[in-house]
Amino acid sequence: MASSAGSVPPQLPLFRAVASSTRQIYQLLKCISFTAKVQVEITQDGIRFAADHSHVMQGVAFLDKALFTSYTLNLPDEGGDLPKFQMNLAALLEALQIFGATDVAARAAKAESETYRSNLRNYRPDAFNHQTLGMPGTCCIMYEEDGSPLSIILEETGVKTQCNMVTYTPESHDNIPFDREDISFKIIMQARWLLDALSELAPMAPIRITIAASPNAPYLSLSSNGGLGSASVEFSSSRDLLETFSVHDRWVQSFKFDFVKSASEAMRIANKVSFRGDGQGVLSLQFMVEVEGGSVSFLDFRFVPYVTQEDEESGSEEEDNQQSALV
């Protein structure tokens, strides 16, 4: 009989985390689904998913370890490199809703048939409700070693499904620079007010959205011009609307409307948004999302403005497709 004294213990996976449900993970990641692939970094505090669109729009969803019932990162040695890779976000979202896909599709069809339904203003205060997403059961996320697939193991009432997501070598990924030492304005407001403003501008089929913040009235305005006309929304500095209002100098920048609209999913599920602009003209939207158990998750978006020219010809298609490059 062979002795087991010299047997090698099984190798622990590099990363393993278990969540009691997929609904919170799914809803947060769906907010940055404006690109097919995302850069993933696993840290001791949580998992960072970063999406980038031509380096003019970026979105980051951070899944805090508090979202998981167990969270273990086994680095090979102290101070070792954190796991980083690229993966297909659409495939991951598809895997996360395997057990609830049928119910979700049925609810979506019902919502489409409602008499009043804006493509932007569609509040879901119970977005993380267990029945809303129809995603019960447990979810295990596992990453065996560098270069291995990311495994999603779902279990519901004794039925276990494992999906292995192909991972890729991460591309060089630079964040859009946002100068926290040169912030022109900072406004904190309820996220649904921002969603309301976009829903007012959307019917004009705008290409651009111009955002202006000023220490004097109008304090915050969002305006647009489109093929069907122009529209604008202005906010007073009342504490009922703007919880925090700090503007050093007048700040005006224009952005591609569809890019800002891509953050509307975050506006739906978030409680508050921190609205900031720096001296370079970069717009930062940081959303605070309260999830079950009283914990908080954050979604971050950054947008690069259009090139500003004194003799700019409004309505030029070429200019509408050109974004500024930050040095």
Measured from the Cβ of residue 220, the count of other Cβ atoms closer than 10 Å reads 26
In the block, tokens 């490059």 appear at 325
Q: What is the pLDDT of residues 167-219, one digit of tens each?
A: 999 987 788 999 999 999 999 999 999 999 999 999 999 999 999 999 999 99
Burial (CB count within 10 angstroms: exposed 0-12, middle 13-18, buried 19+), residue 23 = buried
Whether the model pTM is above 0.85? no
Q: What is the pLDDT of residues 80-125, one digit of tens each?
A: 789 999 999 999 999 998 875 434 444 444 454 444 344 565 555 4
Strand boundaries in the chain, DSSP class E = 15-19, 37-42, 46-53, 57-64, 70-73, 84-88, 138-143, 150-156, 159-165, 167-168, 183-190, 208-213, 220-226, 229-235, 242-247, 251-256, 272-278, 283-290, 296-303
Domain regions of the chain by residue span: 15-168, 183-309
In the block, tokens 């005006």 appear at 252
| Residue-wise burial string across 192-205, b where 16 or more C-beta atoms lie within 10 A, e elsewhere | bbbbbbbbbbbebe
Same fold yes or no, 15-168 and 183-309: yes
3-state secondary structure (DSSP) of residue 116: coil
DSSP state of 290: E
Q: Domain 15-168, CATH 3.70.10.10 — does that match?
A: yes
pLDDT grade, residue 78 (50/70/90)? low
Specify the CATH architecture of the domain 183-309.
Box (3.70)
Cis peptide leading into residue 218 (ω within 30°): yes
pLDDT at 59: 97
Calculate Rg over the CA atoms of the chain.
22
Measured from the Cβ of residue 81, the count of other Cβ atoms closer than 10 Å reads 9
